[in-house]
Structure formats: structure tokens, C-alpha cells
């Protein structure tokens, strides 16, 4: 399989895109596997953080253009393809656990879009970014544009699309696409280190903060029940564990309840 799922200690999961000969460019089968993995992880209360990485020195070159003749050859096929692939990447987007993209080498097209769906994005020196699809007269789906705009804004999104230029990690950091830059070859180690830090904190807090921030993107007023949810943590076992450990100056052993 061109995607691998590994379970690490402490509730950390590593999803690796493993098609190095194609710079991990996605096939329909890989999109299906991505969706299946993230459905499995999302339902698992033992998971604390998920790292998404690529094999062979690259993150992801997007969708495999070699497959376009068979599945994106006309308007109807392209619409069906988008509906399917976005239904799979939505499982990454809406994963309730914190997610980290560990980026080496190429991170372009749909690969950049997948990285943008992660909560943290750690890019190595020498990594490369862009969405040069205007070179083959393609456009990005409105649903994908919303996700990019939320991360880097309208102007930077338009700049990336109309120039079709490939740029480095320093510019990606300045645009808000990257969380931080690591030495070349160091993105995965840094991502796993960050995942361990996250895994040592209260999982309910992390899941609720993801939920709250996503909800606040919706301009509709919060309901009373939604406002009250911000205080539900005070009734959890983890709050009692965390408070007691703090007073004893010990490391808390959160249980996710």
C-alpha cells in the first residue's frame, strides 16, 4: 500500500505517504486509504496526535497527473473526482485530534493543500511549495480555496495561484503556511517531538480547542449550550488529575475522561 499507518508510544500515530518514485503523488486508492486511516484514528480515544509525512525525502507532489486521462477527462468526471477526494481529505481536516505535517522536499498542488489542513506545519530547509496548476489550465475547487484562505489569506492564495511559482520555506513561513523551519532532514524528528509534547497534555482540552476554533469560523452566534461547553472541562477526571499533579509538581497522567 502507498500509505502506511504506524502507532507510536504515547498515543502518537504516524501516517506516511509512501510512493517515493512519484514524490508521493496521490492516486484514488491513496485518497481512499487516507480517508480510511483518518476515520480510524478519529474514532480512537487513545490517539493524542497524528503526524502526516512523506517517504523518500518529499512530502507530496499532489494528485498524480498520469491518472487524469482515466478519472478527470471531462467536466462530469472532474466533479466526481473532486467530490470523492475532498470527502477523503475532509477526514484529515475534521480530525478531532491535533495533526502535524512534517514537510521535506516537494509540497505542491494537492500536497500543499493537505499540509494546510493540518494544525501545525513543520517544513525543512530546502522544502518547496506552490500550486502551479495554471500551467495545465486547471482551477482549484471553491471548497479547497476556503481552506487555503483560512490559513494564508485571500491575497497570498491568489498570488500563489496566478504566479504558479515554486517558493522556499522562508517565504512559506512569512505567508503563514509554515509553523516553523527545521534543518534539512529534520522535519519528521521535530514533528514527532512536538507530537510527544502534545501527547503529554490533556487530550480533551486539545480536542475541544480544535472544535471551538472551527466553530468560531462560523459567523452564527454561539448558542447557550455551546458557550457552556467551554466550562465542561471543570467536571472531567482529567481536570482533577491535572490540578492535583500541578499542586504536587508532578507530571499528570491524563486519561481522556
Tens of pLDDT, residue by residue over 11-65, are: 999 999 999 999 999 999 999 999 999 999 999 999 999 999 999 999 999 988 7
Res 146: pLDDT:
94
CA atoms of 102 and 224, how far apart (whole Å): 38
Average pLDDT over residues 234-238: 85
pLDDT class for 241, splitting at 50, 70, 90? Answer: confident
Neighbour tally for 195: CB within 10 Å = 25
124-175 tens-digit pLDDT: 999 999 999 999 888 899 999 999 999 999 999 999 999 999 999 999 999 9
- pTM of the predicted model, to two decimals? 0.93
SS3 state at 244: helix
Q: Are strands 49-54 and 99-103 parallel, antiparallel or unpaired?
A: parallel
Q: What is the pLDDT of residue 248?
A: 86
Amino acid at each position: 500500500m502507498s500509505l502506511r499507518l504506524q502507532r507510536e508510544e504515547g498515543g502518537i500515530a504516524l501516517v506516511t505517504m509512501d510512493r517515493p518514485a512519484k514524490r508521493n503523488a496521490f492516486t484514488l486508492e491513496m485518497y481512499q486509504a487516507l480517508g480510511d486511516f483518518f476515520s480510524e484514528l478519529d474514532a480512537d480515544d487513545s490517539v493524542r496526535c497524528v503526524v502526516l509525512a512523506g517517504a523518500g525525502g518529499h512530502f507530496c507532489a499532489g494528485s498524480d497527473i498520469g491518472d487524469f486521462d482515466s478519472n478527470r477527462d471531462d467536466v462530469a468526471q472532474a466533479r466526481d473526482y473532486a467530490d470523492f477526494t475532498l470527502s477523503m481529505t475532509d477526514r484529515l481536516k475534521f480530525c478531532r485530534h491535533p495533526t502535524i505535517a512534517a514537510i521535506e522536499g516537494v509540497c505542491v498542488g494537492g500536497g500543499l493543500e493537505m499540509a494546510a489542513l493540518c494544525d501545525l506545519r513543520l517544513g525543512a530547509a530546502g522544502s518547496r511549495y506552490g500550486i502551479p496548476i495554471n500551467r495545465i489550465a486547471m482551477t482549484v475547487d471553491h471548497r479547497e480555496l476556503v481552506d487555503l484562505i483560512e490559513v494564508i489569506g485571500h491575497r497570498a492564495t491568489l498570488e500563489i495561484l496566478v504566479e504558479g511559482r515554486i517558493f522556499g520555506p522562508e517565504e512559506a513561513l512569512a505567508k503563514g503556511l509554515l509553523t516553523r523551519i527545521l534543518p534539512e532532514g529534520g522535519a519528521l524528528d521535530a514533528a514527532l517531538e512536538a507530537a510527544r509534547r502534545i501527547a503529554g497534555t490533556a487530550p480533551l482540552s486539545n480536542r475541544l480547542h480544535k472544535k471551538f476554533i472551527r466553530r468560531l469560523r462560523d459567523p452564527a452566534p454561539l448558542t447557550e449550550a455551546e458557550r457552556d461547553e467551554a466550562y465542561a472541562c471543570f467536571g472531567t477526571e482529567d481536570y482533577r488529575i491535572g490540578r492535583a499533579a500541578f499542586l504536587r509538581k508532578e507530571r499528570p497522567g491524563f486519561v481522556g475522561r
